[in-house]
Structure 1
């Protein structure tokens, strides 16, 4: 296994850890598009919750802007060079309850659309030591950086959205060894030398 790349959390506030490689590898149940060590963070409110569950939640999709983290700023997890961006994928509704089952049935179609169909709006940052970090599911029209731009850790990249393969607003991170995701191998990642487990709430500000 290659050496992990150590990152800063790409956000402020409280975020719930999901699909962590601290719990299993491959973390998302697949090695497709070098996602073996990918991790997800769901923005939550002060009580550790996303949008309240209502009767309608179980029956129909919900607008993404009902969720507390939709539009939250996302930051560069490391210093490096922006090598790719995508900013035109639409933010779709969120799916919980029965709608999430229907959404799962459309997964094959998204996989067929390739990397951009799954990642939605995203930024790829190449680190000086080689690995590339992908920050995915950004809000449409929110990306603030361009290819070739140098960014410093903590610099604003865009906002949390619900684009691509996303059932509710969240951010997906993964590290890879090549900027072309279709040719890349997965690289493990850590945050300040560690890795949160599923269900753990992360707050970089303490």
Structure 2
């Protein structure tokens, strides 16, 4: 899977630390060999939360990337860990996903659901990104679902890249107007593209049919935003890019976002049935690669609406890291 090279970030070191670099960072294998020579037993990724919770900070720190250590000292790491671990008895694995360049992303939450941990582990077994953060919860709306029963806005099998009811699994969760949004990709053999990663046409999702997830009336359409080129360039001035908003009644409006340039085939006022073609999947707007963004809200005004948890036409729950079809 293709990802942009991440910038180094350091946030509120006393409570949260995030540092990032290219998971293929030079020197990773040499540092791994040095640890082994010094008798340091390398942690397996799933052993990280227990080691961190048990106060084995030096061992964890020895396996972080050079970029991490340049930004966070062992003393700072220990102090932050001791503060963050207060009241925690266990961290529970939530998701395990390929991240690109042979790396994997792991996410855990504590038993209360109020604290989360995320790590990106490279092929060199180093922790290239390590994040601990408090997790907000909104139980008063998490359990309120749409009256409309929705299908997926696509055919075949897709991968849930963002989705769930905490901000580690779903970055949208922190924002009231998109809290229960999903981002879907097509992933084959741990990758979302084949060929040149800078070309939209290389991505499996690009140009796929984008379908109506339920019966409704088209209330808003945008069709004139060009796809981001090269892939990785993002249009923050027009974050939705090309989109269709459908009115399903019951004050429920679905937002279907990031259509391919000039591919939308419906107009405002059209009535559509579940499964009708709306357009093609693209990479317009604030999008890092071709994908589907889908959420439901109580208003067609994106700035003054509240997201509603989607009731799908299946009993199985799903979140980040799952395949759905």
Question: Which has the higher mean CA deviation after the structures are superposed, 24-33 or 71-80?
Answer: 24-33
Shift of 1:192: 1.8
Aligned partner of 1:71 among 193, 204, 207 = 207
Out of 145, 167, 171, the residue aligned to residue 4 of structure 1 is 145
Q: Which residue of structure 2 aligns with residue 121 of structure 1? A: 242
Select which of 19, 43, 50 maps to 2:192.
50
Structure 1: gaps of 5 or more residues: 96-102
Contact 2:242 2:261 in 1 (8 A): yes
How many angstroms does 1:195 deviate by?
A: 3.9
CA–CA distance in structure 2, aligned partners of residues 48 and 192 of structure 1: 27
CA shift digits 1:23-67 (9 cap, x unpaired): 54893256447111111000234x46311477xx5xxxx011111
The answer to whether the Cα contact below 8 Å between 1:33 and 1:182 also exists between their aligned partners in 2 is no
Distance 1:41 1:22 in 2: 16
Q: Work out the CA distance in 1 between the residues paired with 2:219 and 2:248.
A: 10
What stretches of structure 1 move > 6 A for 4+ residues in a row?
Answer: none
Listed as ranges, the matches of 1:93-108 within 5 Å are 93-95=230-232
Relative to the length of structure 2, the TM-score reads 0.51
Deviates more, 1:191-200 or 1:181-190: 191-200
Instruction: Supply the distance in 2 between the matched residues of 1:31 and 1:24 (Cα, whole angstroms).
Output: 6
Q: Find the counterpart in structure 2 of residue 99 from structure 1.
A: none
3-state DSSP of counterpart to 1:129: coil
Pairwise CA distance, 1:129: 2.2
- Change in CA separation of 1:40 and 1:29 when aligned onto 2, cut-off 3 Å: closer
Q: Which moved more, 1:162-171 or 1:192-201?
A: 192-201
Q: For residues 71-93 of structure 1, what are the alpha-carbon distances to aligned partners after superposition, in whole Å with 9 as ceiling and x for unaligned? A: 00010001011100001111113
Measured in 2, the distance between the counterparts of 1:86 and 1:53 equals 30
CA distance in 2, matches of 1:83, 1:132: 9
| Secondary structure of the structure 1 residue equivalent to 2:239 | helix
Q: How far apart in 1 are the matches of 2:203 and 2:187?
A: 8
Is the contact made by 1:10 and 1:154 (CA closer than 8 Å) also made in structure 2? yes
The structure whose RCO (Cα within 8 Å, separation 6+) is larger is 1
State whether structure 2 residue 252 is matched by structure 1 residue 131: yes
Larger CA Rg, structure 1 vs 2: 2
Distance 1:119 1:156 in 2: 19
1:180 match: secondary structure: coil
Assess if the C-alpha contact under 8 Å between 2:165 and 2:173 holds in 1. Answer: no
For residues 9-29 of structure 1, give each alpha carbon's deviation from its aligned partner in whole angstroms, at most 9, with x where no partner exists. Answer: 110122110110245489325
Task: Provide the TM-score with structure 1 as the length reference.
Answer: 0.78
Count of aligned residue pairs for this structure pair: 180
User: For residues 146 and 26 of structure 1, what CA distance do their matches in structure 2 show?
Assistant: 34
